[in-house]
Structure 1
Amino acid sequence: MTHAIADSRVPALLDFLSVSPTPWHATATMAQRLEREGYRRLDETSNWQLVPGERAYVTRNDSSLIAFRLPDSHTALTSLRMIGAHTDSPCLRLKPSPAQASQGWLTLGVETYGGVLLSTWFDRDLGLAGRVQVRHQDGRRESLLLTVARPVACVPSLAIHLDRDVNSGRAINAQTQMSPVVMQLPESGDTPVEVFHALLIDLLEEQHGVRVADIIDFELGLHDVQLAAQSGLRGELITSARLDNLLSCFVGLEALLEADGEQGALFVATDHEEVGSASACGAQGPFLADVLKRINHYVGLDNEEGYQCLVQRSLMISCDNAHAVHPNFADKHDAGHGPKLNAGPVIKVNANQRYATNSVTASLFRELCREQNVPVQTFVSRADMGCGSTIGPITASEVGVPTLDIGLPQWGMHSIRETAGSHDVALLIKVLVAFCNREVLE
């Protein structure tokens, strides 16, 4: 008899994944969740008046978010339990002037964002989503989210009859072969630019119920409209776009919300990790340090020494998914360090500091897993293969906080549709809640 894994968090995770096609949508969704739980929104341009027991959050660029909770007593905050993730995922982003005509069809010029696994984008039903800057009829400017969740585009494959060697391996040219087809051009004589401009205005009216006067600028991308799902004969799997790294965003936020609040805890989800994190709202930027300094001011040690004491007494757990052993490509892993789906969180290690883990930070996480009766795995790349990186080393070097890198195992990283284990979600949340509740971090 088949049955799905009974975990109340899985449906909530699937909903979060499905309604978060871009970093702006993910941040807005997390902000709504925080406000439902009593967290108040702070504005970076205003003075913060924090109080004991404060639960608050702040966003930057509408695509990065930091949420934190303070203990009930001023004197109790001597350290912070920090969980980090990132909101962005590899995708196809529209160029600033994307509209182009080809054989009577409107196609869109795109550029790749991050390390996209391009082959997986062919023949998928694609929607359009992102952030649009508009001018209203009264001259007012506004930033609007656009969410087109129905199929409006596709990147059609070339028939095998016209490329007999395709299954032997063919390079994909993102400039000439990845343009999504949107619609058949009308015979009105309107240019592709005019057609696309009118199309955007129609889509915004469809979603927001208002007819804008003009589109000033936009940041838009394509996304797979297939909803996230729990799959496998017994519900062992989760399949979705953007598991890397919205899965970690969900887990980290849930852990913060489920913590008992006795200790200082913070969750940070930054944008632009997939392209190096070098931005004002990325992990290499000052966002986290800016918030920590404001929290330090609340503590009453409003000086550099007090700030350094707070940072060095704290700990950052950087959460970003790990490569699970693929059943068809087991040789791509080191034989002794091949994480498996549904076998618990993974400690990520790299001798060249592509991950920030060291024996001290790893041992604390192993002890947390042991205390919570949660299995723990270790990932190390093969010595003859390169290794990706995370926000962990960047945060450690920019802020100076002791850090380790962990994540949940997954298959198909950077594919348009990735796969993870449904058991693992509750396991990592359990450990991270224990981390947030831990009285002593040493």
Structure 2
Amino acid sequence: MTHAIADSRVPALLDFLSSSPTPWHATASMAQRLEQAGYRRLSETSSWQLAPGERAYVTRNDSSLIAFQLPKGDTSLSSLRMIGAHTDSPCLRLKPNPAQASQGWLTLGVETYGGVLLSTWFDRDLGLAGRVQVRHVDGRRETLLLTVMRPFACVPSLAIHLDRDVNSGRAINAQTQMSAVVMQLGEEAGTPAEAFNTLLIELIEEQHGVRVADVVDFELGLHDLQPAAQSGLKGELITSARLDNLLSCFVGLEALLEADGGQGALFVTTDHEEVGSASACGAQGPFLADVLKRINHYVGLDSEEGYQCLVQRSLMISCDNAHAVHPNFADKHDAGHGPKLNAGPVIKVNANQRYATNSTTAGLFREMCREQDVPVQTFVSRADMGCGSTIGPITASEVGVPTLDVGLPQWGMHSIRETSGSADVAMLIKVLIAFCNREQLD
């Protein structure tokens, strides 16, 4: 029997995926990794003092992050090699007043975040995660991460005996059929709202060791508790929640950390891509441009013209997973553009600018893949099907930087559990390291 595909990075990837149930958790994990590698945390509310060879990062909303390295020694910053991804994934988010009583059970009302593949959420062990703002007994308010990594809730399906046509196709109503069942209510529980508030206070105490006076507000969602895994008979697959797009976050961060530091490089991960990116910390917001302008200022290019020159000499590689051809649904792909798992990174192309790739940016990426002996694939949607989008076109529109869209192929995009190829991870990292180290971007 052939041995399983081995890659020293896979265990770290699996740990990152499993421990990042929300954008806030993913950002905190990446920040910790950066600090362990010697990156300095900057604050947007303070003045920045940068130096040659500087390695630093900054976050916004605790859910978006930008890390950058300036050239070492006397090398001036003339361009930046940018890698972009997003931290959010489709999921079920709790409503502000989620607690309900139904047939003697405490259930939680949810709203869908992004394009959730709803059927995959039934009958799973679900945890609870996000951030909460609490009031301590002394009146002080604080924001805390909440991470419930044990079975907290489930969304039970309806028996086929009560819905004989379910396998013939049935629409799922997110308002009435996706509430999460949490616990059986007793007489001592009080109202559903009181029961849920008490439960949150207990969960916070369990994790943080402090009994808070009240939960002022929260942003919480449900998440699958099955850990990420390397699967397949020969270890060919990575299966996990949130591969779209934490896989790209991991790949981009690894490339930045393994770069030689000789060139200017920047890694940006933004929130809210799955819902349009229109926020202060999304790709359509000013976060990236704000950081670029501050870098431009502190490296002595403090003019609008200098900023425009820096942007136009740079290149953004937007990394977001691509649709791999499915063994059971091969007809959903254009016959000449069906990326396969473990066959290399994918250049994503769309004539209507749903992806930002053009022949110039794609040509450079193909050249880098050739130089690194990495195979490269191309994805184009069928002409009779719609096409998704990424942060690529948004970043190109907002900042003006030349951009292309690439990604690793995957199955089951937006499912509660997605699948990618384990061999593809190292291939894209290898190309992105070469990109970060590349002297010329033309």
TM-score, normalised to structure 2's length? 0.99
Structure-2 separation of matches of 1:113 and 1:296: 36
**1:399 matched to 2:399:** yes
Q: Contact 1:346–1:409 at 8 Å: present in 2 too?
A: yes
Q: CA deviation at 1:4?
A: 2.1
Find the residue that maps to 2:188 and give its secondary structure.
Answer: coil
Q: Contact 1:55–1:69 at 8 Å: present in 2 too?
A: yes
Q: CA deviation at 1:76?
A: 2.2
Give the counterpart letter for 2:68 in structure 1: F
Q: Contact 2:82–2:265 at 8 Å: present in 1 too?
A: yes
Q: Contact 2:189–2:195 at 8 Å: present in 1 too?
A: no
**1:255 matched to 2:293:** no
CA shift digits 1:384-431 (9 cap, x unpaired): 000000000000000000000000000000000000000000000000
1:365 counterpart residue number = 365
Structure-1 separation of matches of 2:377 and 2:436: 21
2:29 counterpart residue number = 29
Structure-1 separation of matches of 2:140 and 2:56: 30
Structure-2 separation of matches of 1:261 and 1:188: 61
Structure-2 separation of matches of 1:277 and 1:73: 37
Q: CA deviation at 1:226?
A: 0.4
Q: CA deviation at 1:2?
A: 4.8
Report 1:224-373 matches (<5 A): 224-373=224-373
Give the counterpart letter for 1:362 in structure 2: A
Q: Contact 1:3–1:233 at 8 Å: present in 2 too?
A: no
Find the residue that maps to 2:352 and give its secondary structure.
Answer: coil
2:206 counterpart residue number = 206
Q: 1:310 to 1:187 in 2, by over 3 A?
A: same
1:102 counterpart residue number = 102
**1:383 matched to 2:383:** yes
Find the residue that maps to 2:369 and give its secondary structure.
Answer: helix
**1:154 matched to 2:154:** yes
Q: Contact 1:349–1:380 at 8 Å: present in 2 too?
A: yes
Aligned-residue Cα RMSD (Å) equals: 0.7
Q: Contact 1:74–1:299 at 8 Å: present in 2 too?
A: no
Q: Contact 1:2–1:233 at 8 Å: present in 2 too?
A: no
Structure-2 separation of matches of 1:434 and 1:17: 25
2:188 counterpart residue number = 188
Q: CA deviation at 1:3?
A: 2.8
1:163 counterpart residue number = 163
Structure-2 separation of matches of 1:22 and 1:208: 18
Q: CA deviation at 1:301?
A: 1.3
Give the counterpart letter for 1:262 in structure 2: G
Find the residue that maps to 2:157 and give its secondary structure.
Answer: coil
Find the residue that maps to 1:76 and give its secondary structure.
Answer: coil
Q: How many residues align?
A: 442
Q: CA deviation at 1:189?
A: 5.3
Report 1:55-134 matches (<5 A): 55-73=55-73, 75-134=75-134
Structure-2 separation of matches of 1:421 and 1:378: 16
Give the counterpart letter for 2:422 in structure 1: S
Structure-2 separation of matches of 1:82 and 1:432: 10
Q: CA deviation at 1:5?
A: 1.3
Find the residue that maps to 1:188 and give its secondary structure.
Answer: helix
Give the counterpart letter for 1:347 in structure 2: I
Q: CA deviation at 1:75?
A: 4.6
TM-score, normalised to structure 1's length? 0.99
Structure-2 separation of matches of 1:429 and 1:180: 38
Give the counterpart letter for 2:360 in structure 1: V
Q: Contact 1:75–1:299 at 8 Å: present in 2 too?
A: no
Give the counterpart letter for 1:223 in structure 2: H
1:219 counterpart residue number = 219
Q: Contact 2:325–2:338 at 8 Å: present in 1 too?
A: yes
Which runs of no fewer than 5 residues in structure 2 stay unpaired?
Answer: none
Q: CA deviation at 1:138?
A: 1.1
CA shift digits 1:125-173 (9 cap, x unpaired): 0000000000111111110000001111000000000000000000000
1:418 counterpart residue number = 418
2:40 counterpart residue number = 40
Structure-1 separation of matches of 2:70 and 2:405: 24
Structure-1 separation of matches of 2:156 and 2:226: 17
Structure-1 separation of matches of 2:305 and 2:73: 21
Segment drifting more, 130-139 vs 317-326: 130-139
Structure-2 separation of matches of 1:60 and 1:263: 25
1:49 counterpart residue number = 49
Find the residue that maps to 2:139 and give its secondary structure.
Answer: coil
Q: CA deviation at 1:290?
A: 0.2
Find the residue that maps to 2:187 and give its secondary structure.
Answer: coil
